[in-house]
Amino acid sequence: MEKIKVLLVEDEPTLAMIIKDTLDGNEFDITLAANGEEGLSRYAEINPDNDGTQGLFKSDAARADTVELARGILAYQQWADSGSIEGAIAAAVGGDVEAYNGKKAVMPKGIKSSAIYSEDLGDLVETQAQEVKKARGTFYVSGLAMTGEELAAKMPKLALQTEKVNSDGSVTYSLMLNGESVFGDDGSLYTFDLVKTKE
């Protein structure tokens, strides 16, 4: 009878051995891995025609982003004894991580929401809201339509989702209303860049 192949990914060695010893026998062929990265490698060894991620992601780009995230988490775990996750993210992305309207976001270079600057994040959002107020298109969140003026009125109280950190120190954000993203009338995610302009 052919054994059932089992890949066991467990970072606690004692627990891994207990599980392996329990499952090991006539029915199971157990392969151990100590972490996710090693697990992918071991999966590729026992299934050479599939690296373990095919079929799990919508696209190669999504797969690459997820693997990059997993590597970042692993690096943080190795580094965690000497800092915080906010510090690790800040080092990785080149910006401070602060809470803004109840959600953590990467700050544009030179901005902290908790510090007094000549121009803080709230001021930048207010400036962007004035631009949105002039917009002629319609914005959507959870299927509900809003004019630019309606969205602009809500913007100072909305959470920011960090989309990317740009080389000039600016940060690209999208808006979150009750946990849902805001979209433009063309169906694309509404994003905007914020950067400190005053010294």
| CA 129 to chain CA mean position, Å | 25
The structure's pTM equals 0.54
Q: Element (H or E) spanning 65, and its range?
A: helix 60-79
Residue type, 153: A
CA dist 43 and 53 (Å) reads: 9
- Tens-digit pLDDT profile for residues 32-79: 888 877 877 777 677 665 545 555 555 667 666 666 666 666 665 555
Query: What is the average pLDDT across 164-189?
Result: 87
In DSSP terms, 54 is beta-bridged to: none
CA dist 6 and 32 (Å) reads: 9
Q: Long-range pairs for 41-44 at CB < 8 Å and ≥24 separation?
A: 42/7, 43/7
CA dist 172 and 192 (Å) reads: 5
- Tens-digit pLDDT profile for residues 82-124: 455 556 555 555 567 777 787 777 778 767 555 444 457 888 8
Q: Return the structure tokens found at 142.
A: 């959870």
